[in-house]
Structure 1
Amino acid sequence: MELFPEFQDKANDFPPAPLADRMRPRELKDLIGQTNLIGKGKPLYKLITGKSNFSFILWGPPDSGKTTIARLAARISENDFICDE
Structure 2
Amino acid sequence: MRIADEPALKLEKIFDIARQRSNFGNGRYARNVIEKAQVNHAGKLLSMDINAVKRDDIFTLRSEDFDFLECGSEKTKQMIGFAL
Q: Same fold (TM over 0.5)?
A: no
- Larger relative contact order, structure 1 or 2 (CA cutoff 8 Å, min sep 6): 2
Which structure features the higher share of strand residues?
2
The TM-score with structure 2 as length reference comes to 0.24
Point out the structure with max Rg over C-alpha. Answer: 1
Considering fraction of residues, name the structure with more helix.
2
